[in-house]
Amino acid sequence: MKTVMVLIHDDACQEARLQCALDVVRAVNGHLVCLDVVQMPVMTDGFGVGGGAGVLLMDEREREDGNVARLEQRLANEGVSYEWSRVLSQSDVAITDNARLVDLIVIGKQGLGEITESGNAAARLAELTSAPILLVPTEQKSLDLSGKALVIWNGGAAADAAVRAAVPLLKLAEEVEVLTIEQDDADPDEVAAYLARHDCKVTTRRAPKSGDVGTQLLDALRTSGAAWCAMGSYGHSRLREQVFGGASKTLLAKAPIPLLLSH
């Protein structure tokens, strides 16, 4: 893991995204790609796109120009390798088009310009790109990769992908705990053996299912002492998740620590 992309936009979660991305880049001696997202305004009138959209776009560009200028001064003194890129869009596809040769994408639960922290942006990006996603809470101040890491394991293909993607960071942790909510076909010892071959310091824990799985996993995140967590995204079909919710949907919206996701 060497190339880390962070989404840049002047919103409430920008500092959390940037600081966590810097912490990862330093830990792996990597390279930071700052993707500045200038959002396209959406305005319509009776004839389609309203004339005010152009004014809003100019305002948005000016705000982001100033934002980039301020961050450039900071990054010049951070001691990391970095570069800038810019995308003008509201499209997840446009973002992932710029993420084809990156090893990790750092985004926030608030998304870009969204008011509520739903985690939907992370789910969409995880589905559109092969790169893992690091989903960062808005209040996050830093990311201690030398501390404890948690792996949520349910035996699914998405969980497999998350573990493989997380290995470079899990190797830095003083302890990796693999947590499984007891169910068929999910053996945490299998994951522990895989990670041990990568020189990770691994323990396992099986917890009996107790009520809602999403709530149970949230409690585990809060009490585990872990600095971050790796998990698969959307272990069931997207349609089933949209209709019935699901544990991953709960965690994406409410996780108190950063989540590394893979789909």
Task: List the domains of the chain with CATH numbers.
Answer: 3-136 (3.40.50.620), 148-262 (3.40.50.12370)
pLDDT tier, 164 (very low <50, low <70, confident <90, very high otherwise): very high
Query: 209-242: per-residue pLDDT in tens?
Result: 888 888 999 999 999 999 999 998 754 444 334 3
Task: Judge whether residue 252 has pLDDT over 90.
Answer: no
pLDDT at residue 55, rounded to an integer: 54
Q: How far apart, in whole angstroms, are the C-alpha atoms of residue 242 and residue 229?
A: 23
Q: What is the DSSP string of 118-164?
A: --HHHHHHHHH-SS-EEEE-TT-----TTSEEEEE--SSHHHHHHHH
Which pLDDT score, from 0 to 100, does residue 172 have?
A: 98
Among 13, 14, 28, CA closest to 145: 28
Mean pLDDT confidence for 126-132: 80
In terms of pLDDT, which residue wins out, 107 or 37?
107
Q: Give the pLDDT confidence score for residue 239 in this predicted structure.
A: 36
| 51-69 pLDDT per residue, tens | 555 556 677 788 889 999 9
pLDDT at site 146: 97
The larger pLDDT score, comparing residue 210 to residue 81, is at 81
Between β-strands 44-45 and 48-49, what pairing exists: parallel, antiparallel or unpaired? Answer: antiparallel
